[in-house]
Structure 1
């Protein structure tokens, strides 16, 4: 009786192991999407490129809806070169550097809310920021195309910025100087399209990430203040669209 029971238990164990083996085999086949089977950009290539953006505005006695007698002058400038190396097919690692500068000189702005009028005068703001990023980028061709492809970029960024803002003029003048340090982990998927064998146009968008920022301020060279913020972004930001040119060497 004992021998029959032992043989029955061994038979059940063998059958169970075969079932799990078949399930494991089917699971592996199910998740194998062969994403890296097609080579879009081969191992050993270098990539370099960047993006540049500049915009300026000037308003003189502008009136729009509740905004009255608006006078302002300003500009925004940003340049971001980068370089990377493909250590595997369709996978690259590299560095990115960014410099940005923002300027605004607001002479006058009246906000007319009917019974309430808010007036702003002699506001000045200037900030420049330096950033360095390490990134890892993976590519995937669209179908069998050798021209169009998708990519996703993971970035780790450190930024340092200095800025100053002021209000008023003459004896009624307040000025604040600040230093900003920040760390960011972000994800930026995008689309690339080759226009020649060695050059491609890229469009990417920041869709999620974590940001940590530390700000130190000094007002009128007397008062000091600090601020620390942390945030997580899990949404599509249409204002974070980046368009640039990349060359593959």
Structure 2
């Protein structure tokens, strides 16, 4: 599998209190299977598979104070250089680049609005082996209160080409890879604005989407499995989506394209 170009979403994992419970939830919801023998060197980090292809991972929290959350990782050919660029552009490095031998090098960083994301410099593990198909990652959006600063940050660090979408209310912008014509046809992610109706204590965040064959059926299954519906199924120009919490509180979206 070819390496991902810099700035492309290349991996996702969920930090959970109970990985065994997470395997039951996502295994039934998305049909995922999991590593038989997760690498105990990295705390039992467990890869998830769809049709035998790697699509995400579930990770046990190393500290109970950590949030229960899905994290997206952006590809980089040089994690140390990208971490430095993030600092220079007004972001922060939460976890300095560290080698996860033999798989690659990771870092955890924050944009100027406070949204946390990871960096991944792949080695043996390049990232997604399946995406934009049912049972796999398909999209990501950053939600922020400082859109101008955040847009400038991602354009400077990753060279994203942005385009404001007038047909989506609330202030939405797509991010396309460097050197491409900006717009929904080439976009790999988006930026949305946290409105004044949301609680002040709500931090900036990334929302990850997983593609499904039937949005309504997936929402019903998530509820049955102990999840919670944050936004019931609704139609958008690109399909039908919903926003959910899993049974431990991690937020994610599903999209029927």
Higher helix share: 2
Higher strand share: 1
Higher RCO, 1 or 2 (CA under 8 Å, sep at least 6)?
2
TM-score normalized by the length of structure 1: 0.21
TM-score normalized by the length of structure 2: 0.20
